[in-house]
Amino acid sequence: MIIGGDGYCGWPTALHLSNKNYEVAIVDSLVRRLFDHQLGLDSLTPIASIHNRLRRWKSLTDKNIQLHIGDICDFEFLSETFKSFEPDCVVHFGEQRSAPYSMIDRSRAVFTQHNNVIGTLNVLFAIKEYGEDCHLVKLGTMGEYGTPNIDIEEGFITINHNGRTDTLPYPKQASSFYHLSKVHDSNNIAFTCKAWGIRATDLNQGVVYGVRTDETEMNEELCNRFDYDGVFGTALNRFCVQAAVGHPLTVYGKGGQTRAFLDIRDTVQCVELAIANPAQRGEFRVFNQFTEQFSVNELAALVTKVGKKLGLDVDTISVPNPRVEAEEHYYNAKHTKLIELGLKPHLLSDSLLDSLLSSAIKFKDRVDTNQIMPSVSWRKIGVKPKTVPA
């Protein structure tokens, strides 16, 4: 069962697992598409409706993916899907995934925490009630850890304190209401593993880039979404679109912010590895799901270099940082557990950047340049509901 299977990570994962002969059901409220309508946004790539996507997949592969449209915050709906599909594994992508979205106004902050925390709590209760042996593979975020001045371990850290030693959950320093929702999820999951014997893998994923996987390339109706706006677009994807339309690359502040990154093809590979090697009953595992680390300035330099090869004139500007974060800091995160399970990473190469930039150039007529600059301020968030002007 893939919750959030219509989204940026969920859709390619659903296709990949179906292609690997897993029986797949997508559970999705389609609210991500509603956000686009509400905020006046659109994917760079044209994306088909979920029904047309699944019909096309069936016609190409003769494989059927079940579809359950509804909100997992509605426990009655979630119960029915659990009872009808009887999942061996739940892959939970079904959360509001944008830090800026959670910082637009009070109502979006509350929505984010309610949707994410209550949704995950409902999934945990559904597993306890209807499928005690079901393995939860939950998408977390590297953002749970913040940017501490020590190495980031995978979920747990061994501490010596006043002559005693213990292995404890790694300290969390979330930087938005979205990231905080993920921290709350991790705590709830860890508790239910201990209390109820749930088996769970928390995948603390870095920033994802790319748009293509083997399966989404099979037909244009299977194409994945590609967000470039200031609310849902991720750093590298945004830079590629900015370069394609001749907009200066928007580096926030000093640009020394360093984060963990991975290719969308590795997202689907990591999920497959977690499913094939499930946690034990009562075990709460944490994998740091990324392949490389880059600063924002390093990403801008890479896009500039590859853009010039394609004949693009790429400039970079520093814009006032809308976030509250360190702009120069130490960052060294461990990520060995998925490699040990067999992850074969797709590292960021000139050829991948060439492909991303070429995609952006292909669809550049679909770019709304009004959506490129950041419009959400961490410090100015207020209680008044914000509506985007027409």
Q: Per-residue pLDDT averaged across 289-316, rounded?
A: 98
Q: Which of 120, 141, 192, 316 is catalytic?
A: 141
Per residue in 349-367, pLDDT tens?
Answer: 999 999 999 999 999 999 9
Share of the chain above pLDDT 70, in %: 100
Give me the residue label for tokens 């930039």: 357
Per residue in 240-266, pLDDT tens?
Answer: 999 999 999 999 999 999 999 999 999
Q: Per-residue pLDDT averaged across 266-279, rounded?
A: 98
205-252-232 Cα angle (round to 5): 45
Q: Which of 145, 182, 228, 234 is catalytic?
A: 182
Beta bridge partners, 218, equal none
Per residue in 18-34, pLDDT tens?
Answer: 999 999 999 999 999 99
What whole-number distance in Å separates Cα of residue 54 and Cα of residue 14? Answer: 10
Q: Which of 119, 82, 75 is nearest to 97 (CA)?
A: 119
Q: Give DSSP secondary structure letters for 106-131.
A: HHHHHHHHIIIIIHHHHHHHHHHHH-
Work out the mean pLDDT of the chain and round it to a whole number: 98
pLDDT at position 388 is 82
pLDDT at position 390 is 74
Strands 135-141 and 25-28: unpaired
Per residue in 42-53, pLDDT tens?
Answer: 999 999 999 999
Beta bridge partners, 67, equal 26
pLDDT at position 35 is 98
Q: Which of 101, 145, 178, 331 is catalytic?
A: 178
Is 278 a residue whose pLDDT tops 80? Answer: yes
pLDDT at position 389 is 82
What whole-number distance in Å separates Cα of residue 208 and Cα of residue 195? Answer: 33
Per residue in 211-242, pLDDT tens?
Answer: 999 999 999 999 999 999 999 999 999 999 99
Is 295 a residue whose pLDDT tops 90? Answer: yes
Is 167 a residue whose pLDDT tops 90? Answer: yes
List, edge to edge, every strand of the sheet that includes 135-141: 66-69, 25-28, 2-3, 89-92, 135-141, 199-205, 284-289
178 is catalytic: yes
Question: If pLDDT is split at 50, 70 and 90, which confidence band does 108 have?
Answer: very high
Q: Which fold has domain 2-371?
A: Rossmann fold (3.40.50)
How many CB atoms neighbour CB 294 within 10 A? 22
Beta strands in 222-363 (DSSP E): 249-252, 258-263, 284-289, 292-295, 316-319
Question: pTM for the whole thing?
Answer: 0.98
